[in-house]
Amino acid sequence: MNLQIVPARAGLKWVRQGMSTFWRQPLALSGLFFLFMLTVSLVSIVPLIGNALALIILPALTLGMMAATQTASDGKFPMPSVLFVALKNGPHRRAMFHLGGLYALIFLVVMGASVLVDGGTFAKVYFGGEAMTPEVVTTDSFQSALWVSMLFYVPLSMMFWHAPALVHWYGLPAVKSLFFSFVACWRNFKAFFIYVIAWGVIFMLAGMLALLITSLMGNPGMMSAAFMPLALMVAAMFFTSMLFSVRDCFATNVLDEAAPEPLN
């Protein structure tokens, strides 16, 4: 395993590869992302420990989306079972659960930091314990808690971006995978910055398209109905693009437009 330093324009390449791979199997990848969200939602309703369990399985499900992307990039149809490949019996399942436990622990610490700022309102909204109303989200304390959470969540994302793939495909221990993932994101910060900005623009354009559709229909109440399918599709494309950043940061020929070899 060799860490590669990629140019800034690689971020746009990952976006392009994610979108093109998605359209090879749009129904399968959309369905898998919906199954991803459904699984997290169902697990989160388990009494008392649901939210923690949902956080624990997130890295494994993210790996499942990467595995589905790899299958689609090879020209094959990803079956629903591929989403749970990291949870099946295997040499790295224990490390994946270890990784999930670390994610849950650190994420809850981030939420704890927000509680110190606004008394827990932001955390309640995030976990569904309180409605997201304009009166709530426009308060100064809520806004401060939001920014504090985002500030801490950036390094958390950097640690866990590559970690599921490094555990599952490269066999690294959970803690070591976090270190290498953070270093890979830091050393390739320009590429990831371009990548995040590009996806932000795409999500914004999806919202504008939904607004245009509802305007043409003459029914503002249809905004949610128009936006949700577009948002889910763009989110599925985003998850599809993650694999290509892993391939480039831990492989050679980072600007080769041909599909890289599958990870082993």
The verdict on residue 1 lying in a domain is no
The verdict on residue 2 lying in a domain is no
**pTM to 2 decimal places:** 0.85
The verdict on residue 5 lying in a domain is no
Q: Comparing 45-49, 100-104, 190-194, 217-221, which segment has the lowest mean pLDDT?
A: 217-221
Average pLDDT, integer, range 142-169: 92
Instruction: Dump pLDDT digits (tens) for 38-55.
Output: 999 999 998 888 889 999
CA distance to 88, 110, 122, 159, 241, per residue, from 22 (Å): 25, 32, 33, 25, 8
The verdict on residue 3 lying in a domain is no
**pLDDT class for 221, splitting at 50, 70, 90?**
low
**Hey, what's the torsion of the CAs at 213, 214, 218, 220, to 10 degrees?**
-170
Backbone angles phi, psi at 197, to 5 degrees: -60, -45
**pLDDT class for 225, splitting at 50, 70, 90?**
low
Q: What is the pLDDT of residue 254?
A: 39
Instruction: Dump pLDDT digits (tens) for 13-36.
Output: 999 999 999 999 999 999 999 999
In angstroms and rounded to an integer, the radius of gyration of the C-alpha atoms of the chain is 19
Give yes or no for residue 65 having a pLDDT over 90.
Answer: yes
The verdict on residue 262 lying in a domain is no
| CA dist., res. 82 & res. 25, Å (int) | 14
The verdict on residue 162 lying in a domain is yes
Distance of CA 157 to the CA centre of its chain: 9
The verdict on residue 101 lying in a domain is yes
Q: What is the pLDDT of residue 264?
A: 40
The verdict on residue 257 lying in a domain is no
Show the domain range for 143: 10-249
Give yes or no for residue 160 having a pLDDT over 70.
Answer: yes
Q: Count how many domains the chain has.
A: 1
Q: What is the pLDDT of residue 100?
A: 95
